[in-house]
Amino acid sequence: MGHDDDPYADAVIYDLEHEGMAVDLNFYADKARRAHGKVLELGCGTGRLTRHLARQGVAVHGIDRAPDMLRRHRELLAAEVPEVAGRVTIEEADYRSWSATGPFGAVLWPFNALHHCSGDDEVLGVLEAARRWIRPDGFLALDCYLPDRSLYDREPQGRCEYRDFQDPRTGETLTSWEQGWWDEPTRTHHVVYTYRFLDGREFRSHLRLRMFEHAELLALLSAAGWRLTRESSDFNGRPMDRSALKWVAVLTPA
């Protein structure tokens, strides 16, 4: 069972929370199939996307710094047919300081993992490293949120998004809810999920999401030697506009 605070300490709970999340799968599979060579997934987690790509014939190397996420990733991979499992390699590493084993046909930085960077320097560092990790004809595909003021104005103590779960390990019922607030000095959106068992025991998972403006992201990718090849505000190609709350981008070497 996970310990307080770290959102990636209990991979089973993480997967329950994200069950059914599939909106991005076709986008990344479509891109990854075009890569020339193995694809690198930054923050591969429990392998939700990794396994989807491998089932589509894509060879993937996934890196992640959270041991429990990788433990579950390995467990789920072992349940795949050997041909699919054989396309995946995973490694425990922090991609902000990783020494690559590439070059890779593409780098994917999916599912808002960019928000775990604490500021411009860290995003720039990852973008520069990714530029070195790919083949000359490679690309980087990523998605992240854009700041959503309507969320940040919420009452911090207000509880929302109530859900009931069953922990598959114990059969116990859990109720969860979400609370969030905005910290202007660090430009961080804090989201705390509280999980409560029927007997009153509770644990929490605290996501700290550093938010970036669209213009800042464009400046960072350019400074890191990338060119924006395609961008949209959702995974179906909806054009970017001032109301966009999501950024889905494909970058190629400048």
Ligand X SMILES: C[S@@+](CC[C@H](N)C(=O)[O-])C[C@H]1O[C@@H](n2cnc3c(N)ncnc32)[C@H](O)[C@@H]1O
- Round to whole Å and give the CA distance between 70 and 44: 8
> What pairing do the DSSP bridges indicate for beta strands 60-64 and 88-92?
parallel
Question: 129 and 95 in contact (C-beta within 8 Å)?
Answer: yes
Residue 34, both tokens: 């075009």
The site map against ligand X for 86-125 (x = CB under 6 A) is: --------xxx-------------xxxx--x---------
Interface residue with ligand X among 9, 40, 53, 69 (CB under 6 A) is: 69
Q: In angstroms, give the least distance from the CB of 199 to ligand X.
A: 29
- With CB under 6 A, what is the number of residues at the site for ligand X? 19
Under the criterion CB under 6 A, does residue 51 sit at the interface with ligand X? no
Dihedral angle, C-alpha 160, 166, 170, 171, nearest 10 °? 140
Q: Which residue, 116 or 189, is less far from ligand X as judged by CB?
A: 116
Neighbours of 226 (CB within 10 A): 22
Interface residue with ligand X among 12, 49, 58, 60 (CB under 6 A) is: 49
Q: In angstroms, give the least distance from the CB of 156 to ligand X.
A: 23
Is the bond preceding residue 82 a cis peptide, omega within 30 degrees?
A: no
Q: In angstroms, give the least distance from the CB of 65 to ligand X.
A: 4
Under the criterion CB under 6 A, does residue 180 sit at the interface with ligand X? no
Which DSSP state fits 233? S
Under the criterion CB under 6 A, does residue 2 sit at the interface with ligand X? no
Q: Determine the distance from the C-alpha atom of residue 167 to the mean position of all C-alpha atoms in its chain, rounded to a whole number.
A: 23
Q: Which residue, 22 or 254, is less far from ligand X as judged by CB?
A: 22
Under the criterion CB under 6 A, does residue 193 sit at the interface with ligand X? no
Percent helix, strand, coil in the chain, to 5, is 30, 35, 40
Q: Determine the distance from the C-alpha atom of residue 40 to the mean position of all C-alpha atoms in its chain, rounded to a whole number.
A: 13
The edge-to-edge listing of strands for the beta sheet with 134-145 is: 88-92, 60-64, 39-42, 104-109, 134-145, 246-253, 226-232
Q: In angstroms, give the least distance from the CB of 236 to ligand X.
A: 18
Q: Which residue, 49 or 174, is less far from ligand X as judged by CB?
A: 49
Q: In angstroms, give the least distance from the CB of 130 to ligand X.
A: 12
The site map against ligand X for 28-47 (x = CB under 6 A) is: ---------------xxx--
Q: In angstroms, give the least distance from the CB of 91 to ligand X.
A: 10
Give the E-state strand segments of 76-147 in sequence order.
88-92, 104-109, 134-145
Contacting residues toward ligand X, per CB under 6 A = 8, 43-45, 48-49, 63-66, 69, 94-96, 110-113, 116
